[in-house]
């Protein structure tokens, strides 16, 4: 029996601190021989879909510009409890996407700050505002676009090993690029009310940048 349907509600993200804990529990090392693709020793015996979706070929944890949206794929392997694994994989994937968007916005602000001649010692202030903006304005737009899992049988595992049969879960997170505009506008408004003249100048730069976004 290969095809199996399992529906789990999409969940909201936890804090970035929780992401660090979850990542330690689920992330597979690059050297791990038990990757998702089946070999003669590791056989896929169960699938959530008739065939694997194309998006699972995206590099895990990498933010990808896919036209009108940003995409990120999270992959968690060697999960023994499918229901719990699906739930926690969604949570970790949402947090990974939130972190990736935060890094993207911070990188853009660094460019704007450099172009505006903002002193580097002001970075900690606007970086904090970026984190707050993504956590409030941006988080509500994050969506789990799709989930796919495989049940894998490891024929090399020792008899009685819990990893004789395990699950590998892929989660696709999508974020509309148009929603980035709201994050930048929120950030500009936060910077504009600051008493620091340099941060006010950065606010104007962010406003001009966001106005030019499609």
Sequence spans of domains, the chain: 16-211
Query: Which is more confident, 33 or 129?
Result: 129
DSSP string covering the chain: --B------------HHHHHHHHHHHPPPTT-S--SS--SSEEEEEESSSS--GGGGSPTT--EEETTEEEEEEEEEEES-HHHHHHHHHHHHHHHHHHHHHHHHHHHHHHHHHHTT--GGGHHHHHHHHHHHIIIIIGGG-EEEEEEEEEEEETTSPTT-GGGEEEEEEEEEEEEGGGHHHHHHHHHHHHHTSS-HHHHHHHHHHHHHHHT--
Tens-digit pLDDT profile for residues 94-153:
999 999 999 999 999 999 999 988 887 778 888 888 888 888 776 778 889 999 999 988
- Global pTM value: 0.73
What is the predicted pLDDT for the residue at 39? 52
Q: Kindly tell me if the per-residue pLDDT of 4 is higher than 60.
A: no
pLDDT bin (cut points 50, 70, 90) of residue 160 is low
What is the predicted pLDDT for the residue at 49? 94
Kindly report the average pLDDT of the chain as a whole number: 80
């Amino acid at each position: 029996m290969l095809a199996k349907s399992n529906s789990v509600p999409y969940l909201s993200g936890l804090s970035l601190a929780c992401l660090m804990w979850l990542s330690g529990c689920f992330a597979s090392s690059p050297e791990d021989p038990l990757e998702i693709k089946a070999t003669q020793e590791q056989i896929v015996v169960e699938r959530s879909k008739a065939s694997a979706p194309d998006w699972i070929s995206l590099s895990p944890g990498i933010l990808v510009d896919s036209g009108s949206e940003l995409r990120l794929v999270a992959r968690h392997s060697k999960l023994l409890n499918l229901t719990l694994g699906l739930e926690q994989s969604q949570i970790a994937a949402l947090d990974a996407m939130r972190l990736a968007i935060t890094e993207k916005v911070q990188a853009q602000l660094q460019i704007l700050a450099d172009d505006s001649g903002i002193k580097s010692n002001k970075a900690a202030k606007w970086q904090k505002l970026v984190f707050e903006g993504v956590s409030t304005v941006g988080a509500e737009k994050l969506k789990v676009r799709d989930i796919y899992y495989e049940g894998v049988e490891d024929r090399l595992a020792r008899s009685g090993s819990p990893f004789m049969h395990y699950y590998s879960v892929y989660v696709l997170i999508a974020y509309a690029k148009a929603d980035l505009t709201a994050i930048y506008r929120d950030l500009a408004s936060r910077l504009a009310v600051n008493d620091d003249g340099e941060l006010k100048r950065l606010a104007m730069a962010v406003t001009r940048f966001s106005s030019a976004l499609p």
